[in-house]
Structures are given as structure tokens and as C-alpha cells.
Amino acid sequence: MAAGHDIYAIEAIRIPARGQVLVETGIAVGLPPNTYARLASRSGLGSKRGIDISGGVIDADYTGEVKVIMINHSNDDCHIMEGERIAQMIIEKLTSRMLWR
């Protein structure tokens, strides 16, 4: 069983060399109470193409579209095809130490 849920590009994307883009995913999630989701990089995109994911915490009460900030650390433009896996979402449970209320 995989720890992360794959997130896919819903359209073709060009990430300029040394640049970044905010990518729409077309999805929204409903998370259980006392959880959050974390967006993480895909190792293949990082090691082969120099792509990293920034930001990436989704609180349980967030109801908008999940968007992914993709950063290109390489000196070449990166082209992502529609339907390509661009990130993974990992849902984590908050422990009592994490709850500050």
C-alpha cells in the first residue's frame, strides 16, 4: 500500500528553467477532523528533471481546489504532459501535541 495518493496534471504545463508555476489539479478533498494533507515531490521528477514541490499543507477545513507549486531547479524548461503524475498527497493524523487549541 502506497503512503501517498498520486496527483495528476489536468493540462499540459511548461515550467520555465529556474522558474515556478502554480498548477491546478481540478480536485478538492474532504479530510477527516484532526488530519491534514501534505503535498510531496515525486522522486522521479526530482531526480530526472529537477522538479520540486513547494508549500503543500492542506488543512482539514480547506474546501477549495488543491493546487501544486512546482519549482524547476534545472537550467532547461520542463514540459509536463496532461495526465502525468506531478505530486503525491499524504494524509497525516494530528497528534495531541500538534493540537494547540
pTM for the model: 0.86
Q: Which amino acid is at 77?
A: D
For the cut 80, the answer to whether the pLDDT of residue 61 exceeds it is yes
Question: The C-alpha cell of 66 is what?
Answer: 488543491
Give residue 101's pLDDT band: very low, low, confident or very high (50, 70, 90).
Answer: low
For the cut 90, the answer to whether the pLDDT of residue 2 exceeds it is no
Four-way CATH pick for 5-93: 3.20.20.140, 2.40.30.10, 2.40.340.10, 2.70.40.10: 2.70.40.10
Domain edges within the chain: 5-93
Angle at 44 between CA 41 and CA 48, to 5 degrees: 115
C-alpha 15/C-alpha 36 separation (Å) is 27
- φ/ψ (deg, to 5) at 47: -75, -35
